[in-house]
Structure 1
Amino acid sequence: MRLALWQTQGFPGDVAANLQALEAQVRAAVASGAQLLLCPELWLGGYNLPAQMAALAEAADGPAAQRIAALAREHGVAICYGYAERHEQGGKPYNSAQLIDAQGRSLANYRKTHLFGPMERELFTAGDSLQAPVEFAGWRVGLLICFDVEFPENVRTLALAGAELVLVPTALTPEYTAVPELIVPARAVENQVFVAYCNHSGVEEGLAFLGGSCVAAPNGQRLVVAAGGEALLVTDLSRANSAQWREVFPYLQDRRPALYGALTGD
């Protein structure tokens, strides 16, 4: 699979401008041969906009989703993007990520389960479950969002459910360089999956982002890494050496689940 990650500052608070910018990136991704384009966490409306977040929230099948689905169909590429999802019962919105395939169909809509810090916990309703991996282009694909990937249990759960690729829209600030440099490659190795981690760039309403988007392979290698600015990363994912790497890093096959009961205790 050829995968593209769009690291961007975007247009905080301006959904129409973000959708217009997306069209240009879709064209660039398709020109590179990409089958899937990954955007950052809360990309659609912006991350650091607490006063506007509820107003920016849309339904999973709302106007923006319909426009993104139309772009996916028109250009023949799947798109995974972060957005504020309107709560179905009028509560605080969800911090969500949706994967739309090249036919414009929603394959997955995941709600962030591990909210980070006081601002997110004040603004959002936490998702209450991990979502099973979905089939895309012959791959089993799972979704997480930012802080979620920092919990080993989340990626392990997806891997045990058959995930081969985990997509992670994120909004990471510069003090957390250990996440893309150490944690993301570790999650890839210990679970024998590819992990695609797509961050914001620049500064949004005074909040600086690290950039550093990357894709980590099951051997721990980061196949592509962005610096701090706007970037479109493109890389190929291959299962060619999967069996070899599972022998080198046999964590899944050598597990002893009977010993780990305390991990799920209160």
Structure 2
Amino acid sequence: MTKVACIQMDISFGDPVKNRETVTKAFQKLFREEKVDVVVLPELWTTGYDLSRIHEIGDKDGREVDSFLSTLAKTYSTNIVGGSFANITDDGVLNTLRVYDSKGTIIHEYSKVHLFQLMNEHQYLIPGSEGGNFSLSNFKSGVSICYDIRFPEWIRKSVLNGAEVVYVVAEWPDERLHHWKTILTARAIENQCYIVACNRVGSDPATLFGGHSMVIDPWGEIVAEASQQEEVLLAKIYPEKVKEIRSRIPIFQDRRENLY
């Protein structure tokens, strides 16, 4: 069994210092009351979508984020799926997610491959080019960032490479909240995997965000769902549940790979 926590936070627009303070306080409160195995943060939690200033407020090669999240992981002996941040590189700015083990070591990095034109990502960011899986707290795992979930073939690739849980970090708008819930449930059902999805709440100058972070089991049942307020969503996930569901309906054995 793995206990996961999604920190559903209101992101202060363009203020990395304030956002690190928010995350610090959330960890302090969480670990006073609970011991969890994996903590998940939302997309672009350091800056929000202040993209016009992203070269000023982003993080060169993720150095500040690494120091901050590595320290939290070691302090609380927990694994962290570190949301994502504006990663300033020599080639451009990436929307990058890093995963830290309980010793504070980076064990996986992924940069968003599908840029969302409705929020002008394509004007300020460059896309990543690789996915990849990793092992975390008893699960073979994959990650996706927000808009990525609209591409079922991208999630399926991760699952075909062994993922039993897919962590999703997001800044998903309230006006498409129905899509958020429906797509996440579909990804869980069609891939017979857990979905652990951490969204943000609050608003920025252009968008109201939907919250409703969710943990969904491989049968498509909602294990836990947050509100539209700041909170920490807790849930337990079980590796044996994945094996059980995949044995009941053997979709991966029945795929016709010669046809599609």
Normalising by the smaller structure, the TM-score range is over 0.9
**In the TM superposition, what is the alpha-carbon distance from 1:113 to its structure 2 partner?**
0.4
More moved, 135-144 vs 153-162 = 135-144
Shift of 1:168: 0.9
Matched, 1:74 2:105: no
- Is 192-201 or 50-59 further displaced after alignment? 50-59
- In the TM superposition, residue 249 of structure 1 has moved relative to its aligned partner by 3.3
C-alpha distance in 2 between matches for 1:58 and 1:24: 21
Equivalences for 1:130-149 in 2 at 5 Å?
A: 130=131, 132-149=132-149
Name the residue aligned to 2:122: 121
Deviation string, structure 1 residues 163-213 (Cα, Å, up to 9, x no partner): 111111111112212333211011111111111111110111231001111
Match of 2:201 in 1: 201
Q: CA deviation at 1:61?
A: 4.3
Any gaps of 5 or more consecutive residues in structure 2? none
In structure 1, the partner of 2:41 is 39
Corresponding residue for residue 215 of structure 2: 215
Q: Secondary structure at the match of 1:37?
A: strand
Report deviation, 1:85. Answer: 0.7
Is 1:7 the counterpart of 2:11? The answer is no
2:157 maps to 1:157: yes
The answer to which of 215-224 and 49-58 deviates more is: 49-58
> Equivalent residue for 1:242?
242
CA shift for structure 1 position 59: 3.5
Superposition deviation, residue 21 in structure 1: 1.6
Contact 1:201 1:230 in 2 (8 A): yes
| Amino acid paired to 1:19 | R
**Separation (CA, whole Å) in 2 of partners of 1:205 and 1:250:** 47
* SS of residue paired to 2:60: coil
Greater than 4 Å deviation, 4+ residue runs: none
| CA deviation vs aligned residue, 1:198-243 (integer Å, no higher than 9, x gap) | 1110111231001111111100011111121111100000123333
What is the TM-score with the length of structure 2 in the denominator? 0.93
Query: Helix, strand or coil: the match of 1:223?
Result: strand
Cα pair 2:139 2:239 within 8 Å, conserved: no
CA RMSD after TM alignment: 1.5
TM-score computed with the length of structure 1 as normaliser:
0.91
Please list the CA deviations of residues 57-81 of structure 1 after superposition, one character each: whole Å capped at 9, or x if unmatched.
Answer: 2134402321211111011112222
| Structure 1 unmatched ranges of 5 or more | 261-266
